[in-house]
Copies of this chain bind each other. A is one copy, B any other.
Amino acid sequence: MRHTLSVIVENKFGVLARVAGMFSGRGFNIDTLNVAPTHDPKYSRITATVKGDTQQLDQCIKQLHKLVDVLEVIDLAQGAFAARELVLVKLNAENGKRSEIVQICDIFRAKIVDVSQRSVIVEMTGNQEKIEAFLNMMEPFGIKAMARTGIAALERNRKLEL
């Protein structure tokens, strides 16, 4: 099962290596992870998706809490969260194919950020299902390169999805 964790840490030297080491030491392969300062630059937020057993994950969360630089660990399955990811995809786009790509981008509200004779780079944001659906539609054109950020998530104050 896939889990998403949000971890608030002190913005210090080597903290990411320790947190990442904790996951791999416990047998969790990190699927996606991102880390950046919060609005208070003293702290950073790590958002990670990992695959594994729920019981093992609970153990891992307890261990994370024990690290001195970790302030807070939240399992995002436990609440209502707004979660978004960004992906840049470079696609084969020979002259005949470009308009088809542009049409699909319009449907998904994706933006073309670069174009050349043979390729385009598309920027797309959404929740993970939307991104997977978009990538499935783009697959037949030929994906030349891809950069995904992994999801960023914040707790909602209300339960309804906008």
Which of A's residues lie within 8 Å of B, judged by CB?
A: 6, 11-14, 16-17, 20-21, 23-24, 29-39, 45, 47, 82, 84-90, 112-119, 121, 123, 125, 135, 143, 145-158, 162
**Dominant secondary structure at the A interface:** strand
CA distance A89 to B150 in the complex (A): 17
Interchain CB contact under 8 A, A121 and B13: no
Given known A84-B88, A145-B155, contact A21–B24 (CB-CB < 8 A): no
A123 and B121 in contact, given A86-B84, A114-B156, A158-B116 (Cβ under 8 angstroms): no
Given A34-B35, A123-B125, A148-B152, 6 more pairs with CB closer than 8 A: A32-B37, A45-B146, A47-B147, A90-B154, A118-B157, A121-B154
Q: Are the C-beta atoms of B34 and A16 separated by less than 8 Å?
A: no
A123→B16 contact, CB < 8 A: no
* Residues in B whose Cβ lies below 8 Å from that of A123: 82, 84, 125
For A17, the chain B residues whose CB sits under 8 A away are: 17, 20-21, 23-24
**Alpha-carbon separation in the docked complex, A118 to B89 (Å):** 37
Could you tell me if B24 and A13 are in contact, using CB atoms closer than 8 angstroms? yes
In whole angstroms, how far apart are the Cα atoms of A153 and B86 in the complex?
A: 11
Contact B47 A29 (CB under 8 A): no
Which of B35, B121, B125 is close to A86, meaning CB atoms less than 8 Å apart?
Answer: B125
Given contacts A88-B82, A148-B152, A158-B114, contact A16 B33 (CB under 8 A): yes
Q: Which residues of B contact A31 (CB under 8 A)?
A: 36-37
* Residue of A35, A38, A117, A118 with highest tally of chain B CB at under 10 A: A35
